[in-house]
Structure 1
Amino acid sequence: MTEAEQLARKRYYMIVALNMLGTAGAVLGLLIAGRAHNYGVTVFGGAILLASLYFMAVVPRYFARRWKTPVEATPEA
């Protein structure tokens, strides 16, 4: 496996790990909101849920764009 392939694999696993982290945060937010006994804790759980969903939507795309191979660096077929 070439060095470029190893780097691509590491980056892929990083993006998957970020998605898993966001999912875990969303589940935590649901658990907190679902087991809350007062309104403030429910709002806190909802805020964690919304922040995790935002994290899942934005952060992996940011890294994918940042790590995208430039057009001039791709080999022509």
Structure 2
Amino acid sequence: MSEPDQARNRYFLMTGSRLLGVAGALLGLVLIGRAVAMEQKLIGLALVLAAMLFIAVVPRALARRWRTPPEA
């Protein structure tokens, strides 16, 4: 795999992880909005918080993992 192809695939993977987190947060908001019982609202809130953490941590961790090592 050439370098531009690898960089493009990694970019798409990081962007896809962000979109997956946004989808999870939206699902949590829908659960909160349609909830009848308090337990359902708490599950929706937990899903939103987990998705926000996912959005913040996963793309950054992937970028750190794929970072070019500094030249010695």
TM-score w.r.t. length of structure 2? 0.95
Find the structure with the greater CA-based Rg: 1
Aligned residues: 72
Q: Percent identity?
A: 46
**Bigger RCO of structures 1 and 2 (CA < 8 A, at least 6 apart):** 2
User: Which 4+ residue blocks in structure 1 deviate beyond 6 angstroms?
Assistant: none
Q: RMSD of the alignment, in Å?
A: 1.4
Structure 2 runs not aligned, ≥5 long: none
TM-score w.r.t. length of structure 1? 0.89
Q: Give the 3-state SS of the residue equivalent to 2:68 in structure 1.
A: coil
Deviation of 1:67 (Å): 0.3
Partner AA of 2:24 in structure 1:
G
Measured in 2, the distance between the counterparts of 1:72 and 1:15 equals: 25
